[in-house]
A and B are shown apart, each in its own frame.
Chain A
Amino acid sequence: MRNSGYLIRRFLQALLALFIIATLLFFLFRLGLPDPTAVLVSEGLSPEQRADVRRQFGLDLPLWNQYLIFLQNTVTGDFGTSFHYRAPVSEIIWERLGNTLVLMLAAIFVSYGIGVPLGAWLSWRRGTSADSWGIFFGLMFRSAPMFWTGMIAILVFGVWLEWLPTSGMRTLPYEASGFWDKILTLDFLHHLILPAMIVAMFYLGSPLLIMRNTMLEVYGEDFIEMARAKGLPERSVLFRHAARNALLPVVTQLAVTIGLAAGGQVVVEVVFSWPGLGREILNAVRTSDFPLAQACFLIMATFVIFLNLLVDILYSTLDPRVRLS
C-alpha cells in the first residue's frame, strides 16, 4: 500500500486496544457478575459440591493466575470451556456468530441497498411531499422498538395470514451437514424474511437520512455548479458527482453498523428465537458464564475495531484528498 508504516502502526494500535478490552472484560465479569455456581443452590447442591464445581471451573485459583491462563489461551485462540454448557466456547460461538452475521448482513444489505439511493432521490426531491413522507417513515422505523414491530409482524404474517414462519432458522426437524448446507435452502430464506425485514426497517433510517442530508450539503459545492454548467444531465450530476461525494459518512456508518452487527440485535434474536450470538450473550451474562461472555464481547470488539481500521483505509480510495499518514 501507499504507506505500510502507517498500516503497521494502526494494526498494532488495534491489537493494543483489543488487549485492553480483553483485560477489562476479564476483570469486569469477575468483579461484576455473581458466582457462577450460585444458581446451583436452587438445584439443591450443597456448599461442598459447589466448591467442587468451582474447582472444575478453575475459580479456586488466585485471580492473577486465572488472568494469565486467560491471556495465554486467548492468544492461542482458545476461549476455554463454557461453564454452563461445559463445551468448548469456540464450538458454541462460531456457529452462533455465523447465524447472527447471515441475518444482520442480509438486513444491512437491504437497508443500505434501499436507503442510499432513496436518500439521494429524496434530496433531489427536497421540499416535496415525497421528501416529507420519506423522512417521516425513516424516522418512524428508526424509533419504533424492534420487539414491538417484530411482534406485530409475527401476529400479522405468522399468526393471521400464516405466510411466514415466526421462529428459528429452519423448519424443525432438519438435518444439515454444516453451516452452508443449513443456509443454502429455500426453507432458510423463508425463515429469514421476517427477522431480516424488521432489522432492515430499523436500519433504513440511518443511510436514508445521512445520504439525504449530506447530498443537500454537497449540492452547494462549486463542483456541482461546474458539472451543471458543463451541461451534464441531472441524473449524472446526481449519481455520479454528488452521490459519490456524499457516500463518505454513509460508509463510516455502514462500517460501524457491520461492526456492531457481530453482537446481533438481541431483541430481534429473542423475538424470533434466532439462535444467534446476541441470545447467547444474554444467556452467558445471566448464568455468569465468564468464558462464553468474554469470548462474545471480544469478538464484537474485534469486529468494531478492525472495521473502523478498514474504513480509514477505504477513505483514501473513496476520497483521494484523504492521505494515510
Chain B
Amino acid sequence: MFQKGRVTQLVLGLALSMPVALHAQTAVEPIEILTTTEAYDPIRYEGAYMIAEAWKELGLDVTVSPTEFSTLLGKFYDQQDFTVTIAGWSGRVDRLDPQFYLGTLNSANAVMGANNPGGYSNPEFDEVFEAQSREFDQAKRQELVHKLQEISAPDAPLAILFHRDEVVAYNKNNFENMNAMAGEALYSEWVPMEAKPLTDRTTLRYGGPQSPDNINPMLANTVWAWKWMRLYYDRLVRLTPDVEVKNWMAESVTAIDETTIEVKLREGLKFHDDMPVTSADIKFSYDYLVASDYGYFNSYLAALDSVEIVDDLTVRFHLNAPSAPFASITLSQISILPKHIWEKIENPMELAPADIPTVGSGPFKFNQYTLGEFMKLDKFEDHFHADEIAVDSVEFQIFADSEGVFTAVQTGQIDVTAWRMEAGQIPLAEANENLQVISVPDFGYYHLTYNTRKPHFDDVAFRRALTKAIDRERIVNVLLDGRGEPGSSVIAPVNAFWHNAFTERLDFDMDGAKADLEAAGYSWSSDGKLQK
C-alpha cells in the first residue's frame, strides 16, 4: 500500500524540480519609448526608431510612441507616466554653470513636476551636489563637479544622446566681427555690441521663428523674451563668450565673507530716461523679484536673504547659505529695473501690454515691439560701453517658421539668423557667396531618460546594457549629418572647465551589452526574448 520508496522518490523529484521552478524566468515587459512627433522634431523621432531597433536585438519588445510635444512633457514631468522618454534641455547661458544640469540628477527634484523625472536617487550624489553648490573656491568646486559626473555615469540614469551643433548664418557683406558663443550662436548679448557694419546701414537685423511671450520683466516666462530684454535691461555682471564673469554695471564684486557679497557700482550709470542708477535701484530690483509671484528666477534667488544699501553706489547681498553660483549666475541674470517707475506699479503681473514700462539702463534702449512681426532697439548713447558699439539699432523680425528666416537671409531682408538652420538649408547657405555659415557646439543635450522606478529600469546593469546598445555616434552621423557630438555627461565637453572627460562613457558595444545582461542574471528564451 504505502511504499516508502515511492514517497522518497516523490520528495526527491519535487526537490529537484523546485529550483527549476524558481528559475523559470519571465519575459521582460515591453518597453515604450516616448518621443516627439516627426513634424515637431524629426531627429528625436527617427532616433527613437534607431534605438528601438537596437533594443529589439537585445531580445526586448519595444514600441515607439510619437507624442504631441506638450502631451509628452506632461507625461514625462507631471505624471512621470513613462518607462523611457527622449527629451532635451536647451543650452541657456546661465546653464553653463553646472548647478542646473547636475540638479536634474538630484533626488530632491524627483518629485512630480520637477526636473528629475527619471527619479535617479543616489545619496552619495546628493551629498556631493549639496557640497559643490556651497563651494566658493572654483578649483575645489570643479573637483566636486567632476566627482559628481564620475558618480552618476556608471549608474546610467539616462543616456546623453548628443550635443547638437548650432549652425547659423550671417551676411558677410553687411557685417563683420561676428563672434559666436557656445549655446547662443550669434544671438548672444555680445554680438550686437561687437558687430561692425561694412555698409552705410548700421542696423543689425536678426530674424527668427521664436518671439517673446511678452516683454514684461515681471512676467516673461520664455528664454526668447529674455534674450531680447537683456539688451535693454542691464545686469551687474555679464558672462563673456568664454563664460567668465565680467564686471558690468558693477565696478567690483567682493566676497566679504562666505555669505556676504559686496557690489560697487560704476559711477555715472543712467537709465534711458536720464535718471541715475543708484544702489536703491539694485536693492529694489532684487527685493521686488523676491516679493513677487514671478517664478522664473526663483531658483537663482533662493540663496538671497536680504540686500543692504551701504551708500549710493554700494550694496551688500546677504545670503542665507554660501552659494557658488550666486556671484556668477544670479548677478548676471537679474535685470536692474528703475525703482522710480516700478515702485508706482500696483500689480506688475497684470499690466496691459501697452502699459509695460520699457525703461532700462542697458546698452540699447527700447524702440518698438509689434506682436508677431517686429522688434527694434536703438543704441543708448549714454551707456558706459557706448563707444565700443558700432551699430545704431538692432532689429528682430519674427517669422512663422525657419524656412521664412532662411529665405530672408538669402534675399538680404535680415542679416543674421537668430536660431539654427534646418539640415537641408546648411549646404545652400554654404554655397551662397553672401553668407557666412557658423557652427558652434551646444551645451544643451538630447537625452533618453529611464524611469528608474519601473521594473528592470531600477536595475543598474539593465540600464547600462541598454545604454551600451545605443549607437550615439551613428545617430549623430545619420540624423545630424555629423553636426553634433555624442554625449557622455550632462556637462557638455564644450563646457571644458566643468566637463569631466574621464567618466565612463558606455560607448556602443552590442556584445558587451549582451554579456552585461547575462552576467546580471538575464537570459534569452528559445524565441530570443530577453527574460529574467
Contacts and interface: CB of A to CB of B under 8 A. Distances in A.
Contact of B114 (A47, A158, A172, A288): A47
Given A168-B397, A270-B401, A44 B100 contact: yes
B27 to A, nearest CB: 33
A45 B221 contact: yes
Nearest to A96: B372
Contact of B352 (A38, A40, A87, A269): A87
A91 B353 contact: yes
A92 B371 CA distance: 8
Interface in B391-406: 395, 397-401, 403-404
Given A34-B71, A38-B78, A40-B221, A173 B368 contact: yes
Contacts of B223: 43
B371 A47 contact: no
Contacts of B219: 86
A145 to B, nearest CB: 14
A308 interface: no
B404 A272 contact: yes
Contacts of B404: 166-167, 270-273
B214 A41 contact: no
Interface stretch (A50-58, A132-140, A219-227, A297-305): A50-58
A19 B372 CA distance: 30
B400 A38 contact: no
Interface in B31-87: 68-71, 73-74, 77-78
B473 interface: no
Contacts of B78: 35, 38, 41
A198 interface: no
A53 B376 CA distance: 29
Contact of A41 (B113, B296, B408): B113
B373 A87 contact: no
Contacts of B213: 84-86
Among B68, B90, B100, chain A packs the most CB atoms within 10 A around the CB of B68
Interface in B14-40: none
A172 B298 contact: no
Among A56, A166, A172, A175, chain B packs the most CB atoms within 10 A around the CB of A172
A53 B413 CA distance: 38
Contacts of A288: 70
A283 B115 CA distance: 25
A52 B221 CA distance: 13
A88 interface: yes
A166 B399 CA distance: 11
A48 B223 CA distance: 20
A318 to B, nearest CB: 39
Contacts of A41: 73, 77-78, 113-115
A227 B293 CA distance: 78
Contacts of A212: none
B411 A159 contact: yes
B16 to A, nearest CB: 55
Given A40-B221, A43-B296, A34 B74 contact: yes
Interface residues of B, number: 50
B478 interface: no
A173 B222 contact: no
A317 interface: no
Contacts of A169: 373
Contact of A86 (B70, B214, B293, B399): B214
Contacts of A165: 413
Given A38-B77, A173-B374, A44 B115 contact: yes
Contacts of B298: 45-46, 49
B46 to A, nearest CB: 21
Contacts of A56: 293, 349
B73 A166 contact: no
A275 B372 contact: yes
A45 B219 CA distance: 13
A185 interface: no
B74 A49 contact: no
A88 B70 CA distance: 23
B183 to A, nearest CB: 15
Interface in B257-313: 293, 295-296, 298-299
B404 to A, nearest CB: 4
A86 B216 contact: yes
Contacts of A38: 70, 73-74, 77-78
A33 interface: yes
Contacts of A10: none
A84 B74 CA distance: 17
A47 B113 contact: yes
B373 A172 contact: yes
Given A33-B70, A271-B403, A159 B376 contact: no
Contacts of B90: 42
B488 interface: no
A271 B400 contact: yes
A162 interface: yes
A270 B403 CA distance: 9
A20 interface: no
B73 A42 contact: yes
B376 A45 contact: no
A205 to B, nearest CB: 25
Contacts of A40: 221
Nearest to B95: A44
A47 B408 contact: no
A39 B353 contact: no
A222 B407 CA distance: 57
Given A35-B78, A86-B349, 6 more contacts: A34-B71, A41-B77, A45-B221, A45-B296, A85-B213, A159-B407
23 contacts: A33-B70, A34-B74, A38-B70, A38-B78, A39-B70, A40-B221, A41-B78, A43-B223, A44-B100, A46-B298, A49-B296, A49-B298, A53-B221, A84-B213, A85-B371, A86-B349, A154-B407, A168-B397, A173-B374, A271-B400, A271-B403, A272-B400, A275-B371
Interface of B: 68-71, 73-74, 77-78, 89-90, 100, 111-115, 213-214, 216, 219, 221-223, 293, 295-296, 298-299, 349, 352-353, 368, 371-374, 376, 395, 397-401, 403-404, 407-408, 410-411, 413
Nearest 9 A-B pairs (CB), nearest first?
Answer: A49-B295, A47-B113, A34-B74, A34-B70, A270-B400, A38-B73, A273-B404, A275-B372, A273-B399
